[in-house]
């Protein structure tokens, strides 16, 4: 099972080996998609975590008990339908078919398939795609 987690942690936890603990104690594979840490001020981490379902749930509990805010994100990608001109450029770049074109030449976004790679953002000529993190 894979999940995208946005972690926000307070100043007293910025020096903690959070990702190391997740890997070592919960057998998770961690891909750091974005990190913003000001030592002794605050920090945020956007992680793709992969592992066995129960261990993943336990790891989230561990983070919460530590005082870390955990937001489970399906994907941080958002498509503005008002801006989109249905040109299809994003469908060509998306390797997992998270954006497809229907028979009416209108795009559909399948959030459950999206890996949050963000390649589609640059592909969009009218900047209709953005990431919320
Ligand atoms: S972020 Fe990546 S996986 Fe998600 S829709 Fe865009 S190209 Fe596809
Ligand atoms: S590239 Fe942008 S304008 Fe074109 S279909 Fe995708 S979201 Fe819409």
Among 114, 130, 44, 124, smallest CA distance to 73 is for 114
Predicted confidence (pLDDT) per residue in 19-46, tens digit: 899 999 999 999 887 788 776 778 888 8
Residue whose Cα lies nearest atom 1 of ligand 2: it is 124
> How, if at all, do strands 42-50 and 29-38 pair?
antiparallel
2-73 and 77-131, same CATH topology: yes
Domain locations along the chain: 2-73, 77-131
Calculate how far, in angstroms, residue 33's C-alpha sits from the geometric centre of ligand 1.
Answer: 13
| Cα distance between residue 120 and residue 127, in whole Å | 10
What pLDDT does residue 85 have?
A: 98
| Cα distance between residue 21 and residue 9, in whole Å | 15
Residue whose Cα lies nearest atom 4 of ligand 2: it is 87
What pLDDT does residue 54 have?
A: 94
| Cα distance between residue 8 and residue 123, in whole Å | 30
| Topology, domain 77-131 | Alpha-Beta Plaits (3.30.70)
Ligand having the closest approach to the CA of 89: 2
What is the pTM for the complete model shown? Answer: 0.61
Check pLDDT > 90 for residue 97. no
Nearest atom in ligand 2 to the alpha carbon of residue 79 is 7
Q: For residue 14, give every residue at least 6 positions away whose Cβ sits within 8 Å of its Cβ, in sequence order, or none.
A: 37, 38, 39, 40, 41, 42, 43
What pLDDT does residue 78 have?
A: 96
Q: How many CB atoms lie within 10 A of CB 124?
A: 20
Nearest atom in ligand 1 to the alpha carbon of residue 131 is 1
Mean pLDDT of the chain: 90
| Cα distance between residue 71 and residue 79, in whole Å | 20
**CB of 128 shorter than 6 A to ligand 1:** no
Residue whose Cα lies nearest atom 3 of ligand 2: it is 84
Q: What is the mean pLDDT of residues 74-79?
A: 89
What pLDDT does residue 107 have?
A: 97
Superfamily for the 2-73 domain: ACT domain (3.30.70.260)
**CB of 98 shorter than 6 A to ligand 1:** yes
Calculate how far, in angstroms, residue 96's C-alpha sits from the geometric centre of ligand 1.
Answer: 7
What proportion of the chain, given as a percentage, has pLDDT over 90? 56
| Cα distance between residue 47 and residue 36, in whole Å | 12
13 — pLDDT class (breaks 50, 70, 90): confident
What pLDDT does residue 91 have?
A: 96
Check pLDDT > 80 for residue 53. yes
**91 within 8 A of 36, measured Cβ to Cβ:** no
Check pLDDT > 80 for residue 133. no
């Amino acid at each position: 099972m894979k999940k995208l987690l946005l972690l926000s942690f307070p100043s007293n936890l910025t020096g903690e080996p959070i990702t190391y603990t997740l890997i070592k104690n919960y057998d998770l594979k961690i891909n750091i998609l974005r990190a913003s840490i000001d030592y002794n001020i605050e920090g945020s981490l956007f992680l793709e975590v992969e592992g066995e379902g129960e261990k993943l749930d336990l790891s989230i509990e561990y983070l919460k008990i530590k005082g870390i805010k955990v937001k489970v994100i399906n994907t941080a990608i958002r498509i503005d339908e008002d801006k989109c001109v249905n040109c299809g450029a994003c469908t060509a770049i998306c390797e997992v078919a998270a954006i497809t074109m229907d028979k009416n030449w209108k795009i559909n976004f399948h959030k459950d398939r999206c890996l949050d790679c963000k390649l589609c953002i640059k592909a969009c000529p009218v900047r209709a795609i953005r990431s919320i993190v």
